[in-house]
Amino acid sequence: MTDSRKRTLALFYCRNVPESSETHRQAIEKGCDEQIRLFPLPCSGRLEPVHLLRALEEMADAAYLITCPEGACRYFEGNLRAKRRVERTREMILSIGLEPERVGIVIGSKEVPKTLAQHAAEIFDKISQMGPSPALKRPANETFACEKRRDWL
């Protein structure tokens, strides 16, 4: 039986991702009842493992990063560094008994660029298949349905 508690996703993203302005961010968060929390970064290379870990500890069942396509980072290697940091975080959460899939990276495509909302929907669908995170402190009375609203797409 699927756990009915709602899933939350912390989604960090490079501001170069298409349609990722502040207006888009607010619309997505509002549209999904804040089950997705969005964190814009000037470059994905700004992300540190501690950001992902803190997100998993404080507010999210999964924490993901969206970067620009390889070779398209305006700071040359920000997305390559981000990839290694995500990998390091996955190793760390594995060492405490958490599934590494709770942390991930999505590298944008030059050929088929997707908007922030499209990425967010795909990642949210993926993490919704997982159970609630045992590492996340939840309020005792939490019984939300895992409802997926799509009016922000």
Contact residues for another protein, defined by CB under 8 A: 48-50, 53-54, 56-57, 92-93, 95-98, 134-137
Q: How far is the CB of 125 from another protein (least distance, A)?
A: 24
Q: Which tokens belong to 150? A: 């799509």
Q: Which is nearer to another protein, 84 or 110 (CB)?
A: 84
Q: Which is nearer to another protein, 49 or 78 (CB)?
A: 49
Q: How far is the CB of 93 from another protein (least distance, A)?
A: 7
Q: How far is the CB of 48 from another protein (least distance, A)?
A: 6
Q: Which is nearer to another protein, 104 or 108 (CB)?
A: 104
Residue type, 131: G
**Angle at the Cα of 90 (from 84 to 96), degrees rounded to 5?**
145
Q: How far is the CB of 57 from another protein (least distance, A)?
A: 5
- Judge whether 82 and 29 are in contact, CB under 8 Å: no
Buried b vs exposed e over 125-146: b needs ≥16 C-beta within 10 Å?
eebbeeebbeebeeeeeeeeee
Q: How far is the CB of 19 from another protein (least distance, A)?
A: 32
Cβ atoms within 10 Å of 51's Cβ, excluding its own: 18
Q: Distance between CA atoms of 96 and 77, rounded to whole angstroms?
A: 30
Q: Which is nearer to another protein, 95 or 129 (CB)?
A: 95
Q: Which is nearer to another protein, 22 or 58 (CB)?
A: 58
End-to-end CA distance of the chain: 28
